[in-house]
Amino acid sequence: MNEQTSVPQDAVRGLVSEAEWRARVELAACYRLMDRYGMTDLIYNHITLRIPGTEHLLINAYGYLYSEICASSLITIDLDGKVLLAPQNAHGYEVNRAGMVIHTAIHKARPDVSCVIHTHTRAGMALSALASGLLPMTQTALRFYGKTGYHDFDSPVLQLGQQAPLVNSLGNHEVVILRNHGLLAVGPSVAEAFSRMYWLEMACRTQVDAMACGTGLTLPDQQAIDDTRAVMDARDNTFGRREWPALLRQVERMDPTYKD
């Protein structure tokens, strides 16, 4: 990291464009909301956002809890993982290697994707180990019917050679179940990516809870599945956008320092 990339955190706002600053604030809000809704794994996992009009990404510094992340603490990287701007911190936190490998691969392959969210939640990891995968068990789960990829586990995603298989597993899907690992959701905006991850997490929790009862499952018939998908497809572009302003109001009430 050279002097040009490493800058005082309180100087970040004056060094970036207005578009980048707005993106930083929105991504920081997403990190805080992931913490609020129980979708964190201590300092691990990562969320990225493409800065509008650029091939640059924002990502968290590896070492902060999601509840600590703010707009000025985010690191700017390019699609090859090169650090372009890194706010100085007392701990020497840098970019998570796995985060760089996973997220740059997806952003390169999917220019329609602005935001990528990866989690290791208890329910997500449990479901990722089930042979059944995500069942069309609830209305919530049906949002992802036919829109879910699956990626087999080989080892932690730290090597560039692991990027192509991951991208192939994602394809044009909205979400991926990372077998024996966790969950991944993508979207054209922070709002839509968060909505997809929240719903996917709820679907996983519900399925794991229901299966734990050990009494057998009742699944909708194919006509009900198809009719539900038709309704959801007609409304798909409203998912996330409708609730996002309310979620921003919530994070503002929780702790407005996310905007710092």
pLDDT of residue 59: 97
DSSP of 10-71, one letter per residue? Answer: GGHHHHS-HHHHHHHHHHHHHHHHHHHTT--BTTB-EEEEEPTTSSEEEE-BTT--GGG--G
**Predicted confidence band of residue 1 (pLDDT cuts 50, 70, 90):** very low
Q: Would you give the distance in Å from CA 13 to the centre of its chain?
A: 24
**The token pair that represents 173 in the structure block:** 């899907």
Give pLDDT tens digits for 189-242: 999 999 999 999 999 999 999 999 999 899 999 999 999 999 998 876 678 888
Q: Is 106 left (phi over 0), alpha (psi -120 to 50) or beta?
A: alpha
Please report the pLDDT score of residue 236 as a whole number: 65
Query: Tell me, what's the pLDDT at 159?
Result: 81
Q: How far is the C-alpha of 179 from the C-alpha of 181, rounded, in Å? A: 5
Find residue 117's DSSP bridge partners: 47, 185
Q: Are 59 and 48 in contact (CB under 8 A)?
A: yes
Q: Read off the tokens for 87.
A: 């706010």
Each residue's pLDDT tens digit, 74-109: 999 999 999 999 998 868 899 999 999 999 999 999
Predicted local distance difference test score (pLDDT) of residue 2: 42
Nearest Cα neighbor of 195 from 130, 134, 129, 247 is 247
Fold for domain 6-252?
A: L-fuculose-1-phosphate Aldolase (3.40.225)
CA 70 to chain centre: 17
CA distances from 61 to 28, 80, 223 (A): 12, 17, 47
Helix (H, G, I), strand (E, B) or coil at 146: coil
Q: In whole angstroms, how large is the CA radius of gyration of the chain? A: 18
pLDDT of residue 237: 64
* Strands across the sheet containing 56-59: 6-7, 83-87, 75-78, 56-59, 46-50, 115-119, 182-187, 175-178, 148-151
Are the beta carbons of 43 and 64 closer than 8 angstroms?
yes
What is the mean predicted confidence (pLDDT) over 53-80?
A: 96
β-bridge mates for residue 177, sequence order: 150, 183
